[in-house]
Amino acid sequence: MTTDLTNRRQLLKNIIAEVSKVVIGKSEIKEILLIALLSQGHVLIEGLPGTAKTTIARTFATAIGGKFKRVQGTPDMLPADILGFYLYRPDAAATFMPGPIFANVVLADELNRTTPRTQSALLEAMQEQQVTIERETHRLEQPFILIASQIPYGSIGTSPLSEVQSDRFMFRVWSSLPSVEEEDRILRDIDAISAPQVVAVATPADIIQLQQDVKQIHIADNVRRYIVDIIDNLRHQPDVSHAPGPRASIALFKGARALAFIQGRDFVIPDDIKRLALPALTHRIRLSSEAEMDNVSPEAVIRKIIQETAVPKEGIGEARSAKPVPDLSQPASHNVRPPEHITPSSQKTDSSVSHAVSPPVNQNEIPPQTVVEAATGTGAITVQTLLKRHWMWIALALVVAAVAVSTGLSLR
């Protein structure tokens, strides 16, 4: 590792240290912001009012030496209030007045209080790093990251973000209330927090170079396929009505590279992907009505998929000797340990999908539905699936048979 690269890695620790001078706790949000910045993504922070959403965004912008702008969402806000506009003078000259979107770190506070029209003004900026005003395209500041906050949907004056808007955010995190110890420390240091002495420990040029360094992180073919398998299994999950698109895979791919870089590795391991599964996928899936009635949560569905998806164990470089990364998709005392083999493909009817997992050899280990498949010779349709799909016709046939029997008996 070169000295320059080592120094640039040290910048990341310095950024977290500066933010921690003001923001007590919130370690996951700090790390997610750093990962999103290195991956050129955006973050949606959801939480109750007063949970340091604005403070952490402003302090983060100061620490990276970037320009910070804040937009307060209101129902009467217009797209021009965010993007900017042209000021026309009596002599027919026009001057472009840039809006707050032209900054390195932009905080869209309470985004779900704005109308869908105003929310859509951010789509081009988030995806293409530019805005178009009166047929003129303007490039944004680099690096650029949008941090949007929203209070839980259902509160007075809120409207949900569209699926297209939510999908543009690389990660979604929850800003919870502080613990008793954290709140006591906030009160103890409130004077220093109210007048923070945060200094810039990096420059925008440093961040751009770090983004290029992250792109050099190696990710093995089977680890990349692990990402694809997780997303594919989610798409075939019966509790999911709207499955994640390719942006979910891209978020896990880029985020895992950034996390590996922060951890001091030059390759990605499966634990990096598991750690980012919840922040990257929770806001990208919609559950079916039946699942919602059964109180199934998106987090529970994602954890189930993580447990059922086979983890690659070879060909990922020095992953076996690397320090294991804790899995944020489960509490610290209940880390996910995927089983040695799974059979999610037995529930799919698409024969074109390839699966690397071999069926169990021991007859005693084969699930009942797999035995039925072997007996019928189909290998695809189980008795459980048959009953689930055609229960109405089976019930109707039983009723007709019962009526026929009763009619025959009465005729006798």
Alpha carbons 256 and 276: distance in angstroms, whole number: 7
State the Cα–Cα distance between residues 35 and 200, nearest whole angstrom: 18
Q: What is the pLDDT of residue 353?
A: 34
Residues with Cβ < 8 Å from 375, sequence gap 6 or more?
none
Beta pairing partners, 136: 133
Please tell me the predicted confidence (pLDDT) of residue 386. 54
Count how many Cα atoms sit within 13 Å of the Cα of residue 269 in the half-sphere of its side chain: 21
CA distance 141 to 163: 26
Global confidence as pTM? 0.74
Residues of the chain with pLDDT under 50: 319-381
Classified as helix, coil or strand, 47 is strand
Burial of 346 (0-12, 13-18, 19+ CB in 10 A): middle
Non-local CB neighbours of 40 within 8 Å, separated by 6+ positions: 143, 144, 145, 211, 254
The pLDDT assigned to 160 comes to 81
Angle between helices 27-38 and 3-20 (to 10 degrees): 140
pLDDT for the residue numbered 410: 57
And the tokens for 111?
A: 């985004």
Cα 333–Cα 334–Cα 340 angle in degrees, nearest 5: 140
3-state DSSP call for residue 291? Answer: helix
